[in-house]
Amino acid sequence: MNTYVPATRTVPRGSFYTWVAVGTFLIIFAGFARTYFLKVLFGTRALPLLLHLHGLIFTLWFVLFFIQTLLVARHRVDLHRRLGIVGAVLAPLAACVAIAVSFHAGRRHYLADPASLTVLSVRPFALDVGSSLTFALLVAAALYFRRRGDVHKRLMVLASCGLLLPGMGRLLEQIPLDILHAGGLWEMVAFTEITPVVCIFYDTIKHRRLHPAFALGGLALLSSLPVFMVIGSTHLWLNFTTWLVSR
């Protein structure tokens, strides 16, 4: 006598990470919709070549991040590893271009008005440099642990969350609530850190333990932005930035 066993639904591996990839891209898209993705509809000013390159590279990164999580969820680890080469090339390129964009913005403001370069105005440059370096280091660590899937995927999530600062800042600027602008850069940093914190908490509750990759990588990511905010407020950083943009 045959016993009927109802089919159970199998949840694809990595579905959580796929949703994280979608969520991070949506933040970037919403933040830069007016000035980049949908600029034709909003009639915003034309962008120089460097900013187009910047937008293209970071768009490619988040698209690749989504594709990679989807491949793992569909058990296509073979294709995932092949595409990983593209990510290994994109990551340092993205970090360098982000720093270059921030540098050129600072230099443009300095040349227009040298007196405008103050401690407050160099903080964004410190944040851009810090977040770019943290992103590159997290990706490097993820590539080093590429054969440890549990470590690799968590570090990649943290690395991608570390890129949300500019998009989150642009997104907050579009929300007409004074309370969202009262805290300045510190408030923007706090909102940016919500996404990785949510990922870490979800993963910890789901697996009933804090994974070492999220513990160490999360500590590095969450502390890096406040640390570079403090660095950006020092006269040493101001003098260095002034020297740099005046060359």
Residue 124, domain member (yes or no): yes
Percent of the chain with pLDDT over 70: 94
Stretch 55-66: mean pLDDT:
96
Stretch 102-117: mean pLDDT:
86
Whether the pLDDT of residue 24 is over 80: the answer is: yes
Residue 2, domain member (yes or no): no
Number of domain units in the chain? 1
| Residue 3: per-residue pLDDT | 47
pLDDT tens-digit series, residues 125-182? 999 999 999 999 999 999 999 999 999 999 999 999 999 999 998 988 888 777 766 7
In the structure, what pLDDT confidence band is assigned to residue 2 with cuts at 50, 70 and 90?
A: very low
Residue 90, domain member (yes or no): yes
| Residue 172: per-residue pLDDT | 87
Residue with tokens 């296509």: 76
Residue 1, domain member (yes or no): no
Residue with tokens 């590159």: 136
Nearest CA among 98, 92, 110 for reference residue 51: 98
CA distances from residue 66 to 25, 135, 183, 237 in whole angstroms, order as listed: 8, 17, 32, 36
What is the three-class DSSP state of 62? helix
| Residue 6: per-residue pLDDT | 47
pLDDT tens-digit series, residues 183-208? 788 888 999 999 999 999 999 999 99
Residue 3, domain member (yes or no): no
Residue 79: both structure tokens together: 């294709």
Residue 195, domain extent: 15-105+116-245
Say if residue 105 is exposed, middle or buried (CB neighbours under 10 Å; 0-12, 13-18, 19+).
middle
Residue 217, domain member (yes or no): yes
Whether the pLDDT of residue 8 is over 50: the answer is: no
Q: What does residue 6 show for φ and ψ, rounded to 5 degrees?
A: -65, 140
| Residue 184: per-residue pLDDT | 82
| Residue 85: per-residue pLDDT | 94
Stretch 63-74: mean pLDDT:
94
Residue 238, domain member (yes or no): yes
Percent of the chain with pLDDT over 90: 70
Residue 82, domain member (yes or no): yes
| Residue 61: per-residue pLDDT | 96
What pTM was estimated for this model as a whole?
0.89
Residue 224: both structure tokens together: 């890096």
